[in-house]
Structure 1
Amino acid sequence: MCGIAGAVNMPAIIRAKEVLEHRGPDSFGIYQEQDVCLVHRRLAIVDLTDAGHQPMFFKELVITFNGEIYNFHTIREELVNKGYTFHSHSDTEVILKAFDCWGKLCLSKFNGMFAFCIFNTKTKSFFVARDKIGIKPLYYYHHENVFAFGSELKVFSSSILSHKNEKSLLQFLVLGYIPAPHSAYQNVYKLPPGSYLDYQQGKLKITKYWSGTDQSTHSPYQINNYQHALEVVETELQRAIDMQMVADVNVGCFLSGGVDSSLIAALAQKNAPVPVKTYAMGFKEQGFDESGYATAIAGHLKTVHQNLTFEPDDLLEQINDFDFYFDEPFGDFASLPLSILCKKAKEQGITVALSGDGGDELFLGYEHYAFATRFHKLFKNKPELLRHWFTRLLRLTNNEKALKMIYPINNPTLLNFYQVYATSIKPWDLAMVVGKDFLRKHFGKDDISVVDILNIPADFPLENEKDLSNIDLLWTLPDLMLTKSDRASMRFSLELRVPMLDANLIEISRAIPNHLLLKDGIKKSILKDILAKHVPKALFDRPKRGFNVPIALWFRNELKGELLTLNEGLPSFINKGYVNQLILEHLHQNRNHSYTLWNLMRIKKFYSIHEAKTVLVAVS
């Protein structure tokens, strides 16, 4: 795991060796040739010797690489049989020589998480690739004859980061994240998951090489009964975990006591030569601590377990540099406890941790899938007059949750009910926040939906829970969940691995019919039944909670001062009256607007950081 950057015609990219130090504190390397520069910051995981140093060279090729290729030993053997020799035990050298051997087709052989660039010193061409699901980040900039890329936005010069992308900020207000290929800045983009980029002599082309929702990727799997699904998923997940437990540094597992992390820990422990180290987080705030569940699971599995308990002040301290590490507005405040868990686990001596990310998206664990399908079936065929009468009653309740249901009941599509849970500011309310003229400026209309926000294709299937999970798989997972995991872990130089998101397992999950993913209507039934083979149901059979953060309480106490001054510094396109209404309702009417208020606070911080940078540039 590392930090990478590179550019042509942008000398300032060399600053990446300082600003990405947290991603790779062990060493750094720089390649420079005329107007081309490649930068690498190393967090040594495999082959800790200098033989794994980057940028690495072979023939006319130079590589800077971030990530892990878990099956590199198999690919290495194949290359040895073709006559290649190796001077290290690193996966970097395998990537480089695989590209020399097979060209772009080498991507089909890689099982792992990665973002890398290979520069051809003869043709002066760049080949930049990102892993299939988007576990590792990759941003790029292209304007006129300048091309640059990096693991984080902060690698780009202040002049590039001076032009904000207002449409992306609208997307953020709805989603709590900015979806690929966009970023918060003009001409700066995220390379989409499962894609590669070719750049040569001012011309840039992006090609999609894999999509988990593409029928062609999962058609080879024929899974028509539940028992077969159980067997295939467990076999593939065990294989993925066994591969991802391999490293030349200490490896552990994050254990919340929920289904996904418990299953990862159970299967890791099953084949481990020594007891696996597991780590759980706990809060001293009453009602937020679930570390007891993790302790019970760990005790049954006989792992070497530690509960790492945090004070509220520990979480609040993380807010101070939250925006620095994300570089653009980011809405998931669950990254705060995850950051502390990563920090404390690193202090305990591990450099790699396995987490359960991906289980809810692949095996239908989220409540909003069932919620949307249930209410869509209930209201889709009801007469308009009856729906209108029902929503009038909802208005009279003045109940927060009831009010959110008015628009989707009057417009009963599956996607509208999905948005009740899956969005912060509802798309149908966005005009109250920014005004209709502002929406028309950026979307060409003022009546927008999540289809417009995400640019969902017109032929995208939307019939059941699995179809909704494909939205999360393609957008929410890489741009929210995995971004959170990457920044929370890499700020403390910890590599976080996600076995559930093994590409083969994704393909298998997409091949399993919807009714088998929800046996007897039970969410995540496949994972629960596999886990029950290793852990008694009594230890994990309870409602899902996730990483709870008392942000609503903080806005009424520790963060109240910031909340009361929220309007000071917000951009002019935000309706200040609407913001004041949210603040008053949250403070005095027992309404919980914490997600929306947090997101608005992130936009304010984004603008204040930008203005500070502009002043510094002007002064210098």
Structure 2
Amino acid sequence: MCGIVGISNPAISAEALTDDIQTMLAYIGHRGPDGAGYVVDNGFAMGSVRLAILDPASGVQPFTDKSGRFWLCYNGEIYNYRELKTTLEAAGCVFQTQCDTEVVLNAWITWGADCLRRFNGGFAFSLYDSETGDLFLARDRFGKRPLFYAKRGKSVLFASEMKAFLTFPDFAFEQDPAQLSSILGQWTPLPHQSGFQGIESLPMGQWLAVRNGNISTHTYTDLQFDTGPEVTSEAEALDLVRDRLTRSVELRLRSDVEVGVYLSGGVDSAIVATLAKDFSQKPLSTFSVEFEDTEFDETPEQRLVSEHLGTRHFSQRISHADIADSTPDAIYHAEMPAFRSAFIPMYLLSKRTQEEGIKVILSGEGADEAFLGYDLFKETRLREAWDRLPEDQRRSQLEKLYPHLSHYGPKDIAAVTGLYHQFSTEKMPGLFSHELRFQNGQFSARLLNDAAPPFEEILLYVAAQDGYANFSSVEKAQWLEYKTLLPGYLLSTQGERMSFSHGVENRCPFLDPDVFALATSINLKFDDGLTEKRLLREAFRGRLPDQIIDKRKFPYRAPDSAAFAARRPDYLDVLLSSGELSKIPFVNAKFAQRLANKVLTRPAGEISTKENQTFMYLLSICLLHRTFVLREGLQSPVLPPLQRAVNLTQTGKAHASQGNFSSLT
């Protein structure tokens, strides 16, 4: 099940809600093209669209218990549902299906919100108690599946994607300049931010209750470091890495449809594909992006892994024109300003995946966060030690810092030396690890008139986190990645939102609670601080070609402004016209127009990273304004085949007394 929507307003009848809930479902129909269903009551309606993966015949939603009191609309998968089902059966639960949806419902009825800590999966769900009128929403611990909500008068609206709120003509989408300043500054929204006024994103690891029109939020889990097993040797650590990743992949292969793998060309997805092949009875299907622009292409490594594993491989070739032509559609699905174009090829790759008949894919997302794969972590360690190191050690460390950059030479080392002198001490409390990255964000924030300070929100956010101040500098860097860039961009704009735009579910074996707990316990204990993901690489040496194991991090990127300069699509007029830009009152039109003219007319080599990034922000903000605020160019939404429609005011309600559902808070 892959998309949910709902409305809670005690003043509205079931009949009046029926048309609205169907239209809301139609707006997210791409997430679940196999079917739709809804339940309505006086003052309440919710529904789901389905991508049939587990027990296709019996998992139709909304799903209810035998009493007819509790109703569930569920998006995602609980990978350990079989183990939970066994435990629930021992507690007296009787199951009618083989679907994890029924496990979620019985788990909540039996354990209340405590069940959320037991779930290993990516999910968002809504659960309605027809006896009390209470509504509960919940989201997974890593933020793999989205869930937005909005309070409008007496109404509470919720949906997997904000575009469902376009159902209501009087729902005014307004981009929030304060949120945009924060998003531009740190490259990504904070967990509660949507970019729009009055719309909240339910943060990862939280659940929400709506009672009598009042909303309360609750945290059921948060990131904790050094909670894994006590490991005394590197050999033991490598064994545990293999064992836990093997188990994680095995869980995520649970499906009644074929599961494929996205191959990037790097070690993370290659490991996932290797383990998936171990459990496959037939050749594994793998999918990759191939770029015409060789600067971004990893085709040789992708083919090497595919040939090594004997996979059935599909490659989607991407040109500048493909990126430019697909941007408006990809932005519509992303719903969020984006600082790079890399999500657009993923939009096209998911289309290809769906065309080849694959509904579920595994990817390597989350490996860099868990196993310290980003340059950010190495930079943080070196900057922290900078003032204590003699000059020769500083230079020696800098020479080893970026082995993947072929052009990295003495001039670059001299420039980095100056930066490290400048940023060797913390300037923004709690954000030491990210201060270098945020410099580009300060430039991007110039797009906004009278913008709020771009780092005000994130400074308040980290200051409010219990225990954060006691983390090491690397742990703070990891925590920030897990809370910002991973859920706010990698799992959403570039990941989930692009895959589900064509009805493909993305599963991430590295985002497993047991893998996270192990990785954060052993990284700093056995890693050398210079070779990213060394433990992960060594754990699978011999299973993959050394060329893949020893390949240094090659960040996945795509052509940014160069693609638009080459294609010059008509929609760029919105960036070049002062009249069009003036329709967005918070945009600094002079700065924006000057930037757009430079980016679109000068050679790509003359455009800096921060200018590329800011151009992509400007373009996405303008396209979001056109689509959501002005509601121009919207296509008529299509409702998937209707499989279930229940009106509780006509069918009657059972009043069950089992479980502790109504006494959770």
Question: Structure 1 residues 324 and 447, CA, compared in 2 at 3 Å: closer, same or farther?
Answer: closer
Q: Aligned partners of 1:486 and 1:207: how far apart in 2? A: 24
Give the corresponding residue for 1:349: 357
2:45 is aligned with 1:37: yes
Q: Aligned partners of 1:466 and 1:87: how far apart in 2? A: 44
Q: Aligned partners of 1:152 and 1:448: how far apart in 2? A: 27
Please, which of 160, 167, 172 is the counterpart of residue 183 of structure 2?
172
Question: Are the counterparts in 2 of residues 72 and 91 from structure 1 also a CA contact under 8 Å?
Answer: yes
2:376 is aligned with 1:368: yes
User: Mean alpha-carbon deviation: is it higher for 114-123 or for 180-189?
Assistant: 180-189
Deviations 1:27-62 (A, max 9, x none): 11010011100111011000010x211001112100
Give the corresponding residue for 2:136: 127
Paired residues, number? 589
2:589 is aligned with 1:576: yes
2:476 is aligned with 1:467: yes
Give the corresponding residue for 1:591: 607
- SS state at 1:198 partner: strand
Q: Aligned partners of 1:354 and 1:513: how far apart in 2? A: 24
Deviations 1:250-308 (A, max 9, x none): 11111122010000011111232333222222122233321111111121222232333
2:85 is aligned with 1:69: no
Give the corresponding residue for 1:514: 524
Question: Are the counterparts in 1 of residues 123 and 145 from structure 2 also a CA contact under 8 Å?
Answer: yes
Question: Are the counterparts in 2 of residues 115 and 128 from structure 1 also a CA contact under 8 Å?
Answer: yes
Give the corresponding residue for 2:337: 329
Q: Aligned partners of 1:356 and 1:251: how far apart in 2? A: 14
Please, which of 617, 624, 627 is the counterpart of residue 606 of structure 1?
624
Q: CA deviation at 1:121?
A: 0.6
Give the corresponding residue for 2:552: 543
Query: In angstroms, what is the RMSD of aligned CA positions?
Result: 3.0
Q: Aligned partners of 1:189 and 1:141: how far apart in 2? A: 6
User: Mean alpha-carbon deviation: is it higher for 520-529 or for 416-425?
Assistant: 416-425
2:136 is aligned with 1:136: no
Please, which of 34, 48, 55 is the counterpart of residue 56 of structure 2?
48
Q: CA deviation at 1:506?
A: 1.3
Deviations 1:57-106 (A, max 9, x none): 11210000000011111111222222222221111011111111111111
User: Mean alpha-carbon deviation: is it higher for 507-516 or for 194-203?
Assistant: 507-516
Q: CA deviation at 1:402?
A: 8.8
2:270 is aligned with 1:258: no
Amino acid in structure 1 at the alignment position of 2:515? L
Deviations 1:339-367 (A, max 9, x none): 11111121111111100000001111111
Please, which of 524, 527, 530 is the counterpart of residue 536 of structure 2?
527
Question: Are the counterparts in 2 of residues 342 and 488 from structure 1 also a CA contact under 8 Å?
Answer: yes
Deviations 1:180-214 (A, max 9, x none): 212122221111111111111122111111112x2
Q: Aligned partners of 1:449 and 1:71: how far apart in 2? A: 36
User: Mean alpha-carbon deviation: is it higher for 25-34 or for 365-374?
Assistant: 365-374
Q: CA deviation at 1:143?
A: 4.2
Question: Are the counterparts in 2 of residues 133 and 193 from structure 1 also a CA contact under 8 Å?
Answer: yes
TM-score calculated relative to the size of structure 2: 0.82
Give the corresponding residue for 2:100: 91
Q: Aligned partners of 2:260 and 2:446: how far apart in 1? A: 47
Q: CA deviation at 1:431?
A: 6.9
- SS state at 1:373 partner: helix
Amino acid in structure 2 at the alignment position of 1:422? R
Give the corresponding residue for 1:486: 496
Deviations 1:565-610 (A, max 9, x none): 1654263333334334534654447132211110011112222224
Give the corresponding residue for 1:102: 111
Deviations 1:321-352 (A, max 9, x none): 12211223233421111111111121111111
Q: Aligned partners of 1:264 and 1:614: how far apart in 2? A: 41
Question: Are the counterparts in 2 of residues 224 and 512 from structure 1 also a CA contact under 8 Å?
Answer: no
Question: Are the counterparts in 2 of residues 176 and 599 from structure 1 also a CA contact under 8 Å?
Answer: no
Question: Structure 1 residues 291 and 381, CA, compared in 2 at 3 Å: closer, same or farther?
Answer: closer
TM-score calculated relative to the size of structure 1: 0.87
Q: CA deviation at 1:497?
A: 0.6
Gaps of 5+ in 2: 391-410, 635-665
Give the corresponding residue for 1:396: none
Q: Aligned partners of 1:606 and 1:453: how far apart in 2? A: 26
- SS state at 2:197 partner: coil
Please, which of 557, 562, 567 is the counterpart of residue 558 of structure 1?
567
2:276 is aligned with 1:242: no
Question: Are the counterparts in 1 of residues 373 and 532 from structure 2 also a CA contact under 8 Å?
Answer: yes
Give the corresponding residue for 1:314: 322
Q: Aligned partners of 2:348 and 2:29: how far apart in 1? A: 19
Question: Structure 1 residues 189 and 408, CA, compared in 2 at 3 Å: closer, same or farther?
Answer: farther
Alignment of 1:212-291 (within 5 A): 212=223, 214-215=224-225, 218-219=226-227, 221-291=229-299
- SS state at 1:29 partner: strand
2:123 is aligned with 1:114: yes
- SS state at 1:160 partner: coil
Q: CA deviation at 1:21?
A: 0.6
Q: Aligned partners of 1:200 and 1:447: how far apart in 2? A: 34
Question: Structure 1 residues 268 and 438, CA, compared in 2 at 3 Å: closer, same or farther?
Answer: closer
Question: Are the counterparts in 1 of residues 172 and 629 from structure 2 also a CA contact under 8 Å?
Answer: no
2:91 is aligned with 1:79: no
Structure having greater relative contact order (Cα 8 Å, sep ≥ 6): 2
Deviations 1:374-405 (A, max 9, x none): 234335899xxxxxxxxxxxxxxxx9999999
Q: Aligned partners of 2:532 and 2:281: how far apart in 1? A: 33
Deviations 1:467-519 (A, max 9, x none): 31221012211111110211110011011110110122112222225242x33
Q: CA deviation at 1:229?
A: 2.0
Q: CA deviation at 1:26?
A: 0.6
Question: Structure 1 residues 449 and 107, CA, compared in 2 at 3 Å: closer, same or farther?
Answer: closer
Q: Aligned partners of 2:630 and 2:549: how far apart in 1? A: 48
- SS state at 1:521 partner: coil
Q: Aligned partners of 2:455 and 2:351: how far apart in 1? A: 44
Give the corresponding residue for 1:4: 4
Deviations 1:120-154 (A, max 9, x none): 01111111111111101111112443212110011
Q: Aligned partners of 1:550 and 1:615: how far apart in 2? A: 26
- SS state at 2:117 partner: helix
Give the corresponding residue for 2:394: none
Please, which of 418, 437, 459 is the counterpart of residue 422 of structure 1?
437
Q: Aligned partners of 1:359 and 1:419: how far apart in 2? A: 19
Amino acid in structure 2 at the alignment position of 1:333? S
- SS state at 1:490 partner: helix
2:163 is aligned with 1:145: no
Please, which of 35, 46, 52 is the counterpart of residue 27 of structure 1?
35
Q: Aligned partners of 1:455 and 1:318: how far apart in 2? A: 40
Amino acid in structure 1 at the alignment position of 2:367? G
Question: Structure 1 residues 20 and 550, CA, compared in 2 at 3 Å: closer, same or farther?
Answer: same
Question: Are the counterparts in 1 of residues 341 and 559 from structure 2 also a CA contact under 8 Å?
Answer: no
Question: Structure 1 residues 438 and 186, CA, compared in 2 at 3 Å: closer, same or farther?
Answer: same
Q: CA deviation at 1:426?
A: 3.1
User: Mean alpha-carbon deviation: is it higher for 452-461 or for 464-473?
Assistant: 452-461
Gaps of 5+ in 1: 383-398
Q: Aligned partners of 2:332 and 2:507: how far apart in 1? A: 23
